[in-house]
Amino acid sequence: MSVTQRTINPRLRQRPERSPLHPRKSIAMTLLMALFLIYALAPIVWLLINSTKTQSDLFSTFGLSFGHSFAFFHNVKETFTYQNGIFLRWLGNTLLYVVLGAGGATFLATLAGYGLAKYRFPGRSAYFAVVLGAVAVPGTALAVPTFLLFSQIGMTNTPWSIIIPSLINPFGLYLIWVYAVDSVPTEILEAARLDGAGEMRIFFTVSWRLLLPGIVTVALFSIVATWNNYFLPLIMLSDPHWYPLTVGLNQWSAQASGVSADPIFNLVVTGSLITIVPIVAIFLFLQRFWQSGLGAGAVKQ
């Protein structure tokens, strides 16, 4: 972009770097920022390198160098087949929780955020205050009572005990609310109402498309949160067949300890790597959306 604009405005050639609209790329700054890159990547690089080592190599070679043999594919295969392929089951569970939990959370947050933004209904400010207040309450305050409540109705150790609590995303609600205020002009709603459309129909035909970047942003954050959910499943689930990947990996890691130890660190490392891949892929894929979605939301206070 910078080249064409420079030729358009010849004056700027005399003011080379500092113009805010037409900056010149700086190698110095890039190198400085490369430190950030190293910081962000170092642990992940460690993960990559160590997923190629065998169990005994893990115990005998320096962390950031490769082992004596390249065991990556063997590790991957073993990760998926260990204990009758329970890793695959954990992967499936995580997908289930994400699709239903994050999907449901996004849907609920979008509906409610839209309602808060576009309708001045009685109880609105109280509604909003209570929901945001919820963010301040520590997860542990709710964990045990939720567990005890759920066990009264026999719902612990089921996927619902994970999915239902995931359906509430207060930050998502806030994002949609803020985004909807600007991106869904009330004039459009008025016009549609004049045409005789009901509120719900307006939402599902008109409004949601305008909200799309915000929706995708909320979806993305919900997906990450549900994918990485650890504490709640840890308490709720006692049957490993329902574990998500995080809890499963933790169990494999803990297996190295105690009287009946059976260390499988190489599987923990490889499993961790596999766990990260889908989320990274989703980020890259949905990049455009979440950036513009967050933008409008964050600015307006």
Partner 1 sequence: MKARTHGARRAVAAIAAGLAAATVLTACGASDNADDSTSGSSANALDAALKKGGELTYWTWTPSAKAQADAFMKAYPNVKVTVVNAGTATDEYTKLQNAIKAGSGAPDVAQIEYYALQQFTLSEGLLDLSKYGFDELANKFTASTWDAVNQNGGIYGLPQDSGPMVMMYNKAIFDKHGIDVPKTWDEYVADAKKLHEADSSTYITNDAGDPGYADPMIWQAGGRPYKIDGTDVTVNLQDEGTKRWADMWNKMLQPGYLSDIPTWSDDWWKALGNGTLATIITGAWMPAIMEATNPGAAAGKWRVAPIPSYDGSATTAENGGSAESVVKQSKNPALAAAFLRWLNSSDEGVKTFLANGGFPSTTAQLNDPAFVNAADKYYGGQKVNQVLVDAAKNVSTGWQYLPFQVYANSVFPDTVGKAYTGRSDLNAGLEAWQAQIVDYGNAQGFSVNK
Partner 2 sequence: MSTVTEEPVAATPVVATARNRPVPDWRGWLFTWPFAVVFVVVFIAPLTYAVWLSLFQDKLIGGNSFVGLANYTTALHDADLWSGFGRVFLFLVVQVPIMLALSLIAALAVDSARLYARGLFRVVIFLPYAVPAVVAVLMWGFLYSNNFGLTASINGWLGHDLLKPFAPRWILTSIGNIVTWEYVGYNMVIFYSALKTIPAELYEAAEIDGARGWQVIKAIKLPAARGAIVIATIFSIIGSFQLFNEPNVLKPLAHNAITSAFTPNMYAYNLSFAGQQYNYSATIAIIMGLLTAVIAYVVQLRGSRKEDR
199 half-sphere exposure, CB direction, 13 A CA radius:
6
Question: Which residues, in sequence order, are CB contacts of 98 under 8 Å at separation 6+?
Answer: 223, 226, 227
Nearest residue (CB) to partner 2, 4 versus 36? 36
- The nearest distance, CB 119 to partner 2, in angstroms, is 3
Q: What does DSSP assign to residue 24?
A: P
Residue 64 contacts partner 1 per CB under 8 A: no
Cα 22 vs. chain centroid, distance in angstroms? Answer: 34
What is the separation of C-alpha 69 from the centre of its chain, rounded to a whole number of angstroms?
35
Under rule CB under 8 A, residue 37 binds partner 1: no
Question: What residue 262 binds from partner 1, partner 2, none (CB within 5 to 8 A, per partner kind)?
Answer: partner 1
Q: What does 154 bind: partner 2, partner 1, none (CB cut-off 5 to 8 Å by kind)?
A: partner 1
Q: Is residue 257 near partner 1 by the rule CB under 8 A?
A: yes
Q: Which of residues 163-202 bind partner 1 (CB under 8 A)?
A: none
- Which residue carries 């998926």 as its tokens? 80
Using CB under 8 A, which of 42, 48, 130, 148 touches partner 1? 148
Residues near partner 2 (CB under 8 A), total? 112
Regarding 99 and contact with partner 2 (CB under 8 A), the answer is no
Q: Which does 39 bind (CB under 5 to 8 A by kind): partner 1, partner 2, none?
A: partner 2
DSSP letter, residue 167:
T
Q: How far apart are the first and last CA of the chain?
A: 32
Per CB under 8 A, which region of 15-23, 67-75, 78-86, 95-103 contacts partner 2? 15-23
Dihedral in degrees, nearest 10, Cα atoms 181, 182, 188, 193 = 0
For residue 227, which of 135, 102, 139 has the smallest C-alpha distance?
Answer: 102
Token pair of 274 as six digits = 């596999």
Instruction: Calculate Rg over the CA atoms of the chain.
Output: 25
Distance of closest approach, residue 252 Cβ to partner 2, in angstroms: 11
The least CB distance from residue 165 to partner 2, in Å, is: 5
Contact between 55 and partner 2 (CB under 8 A)?
Answer: no
Total chain residues near partner 1 (CB under 8 A): 28
- Contacts (CB under 8 A) with partner 2, residues 238-277: 245-246, 249-250, 253, 257, 268-269, 272, 275-276
Tokens encoding 185: 């002009």
The smaller minimum CB distance to partner 2, of residues 42 and 99, is found at 42
Asked if 214 touches partner 2 (CB under 8 A), the answer is no
Among 251, 276, 286, 289, binds partner 1 (CB under 8 A): 251
> Which one of partner 2, partner 1, none is in contact with 238 (Cβ closer than 5 to 8 A by kind)?
partner 1
The CA-atom distances, in angstroms, between 219 and each of 103, 215, 225 are 7, 6, 10
DSSP 168: -
Residue 156: name its binding partner from partner 2, partner 1, none (Cβ under 5 to 8 Å by kind). Answer: partner 1
Distance between CA atoms of 238 and 191, rounded to whole angstroms? Answer: 54
> CB of residue 55 vs partner 1: minimum separation in angstroms?
8
Q: How many CB atoms lie within 10 A of CB 49?
A: 17
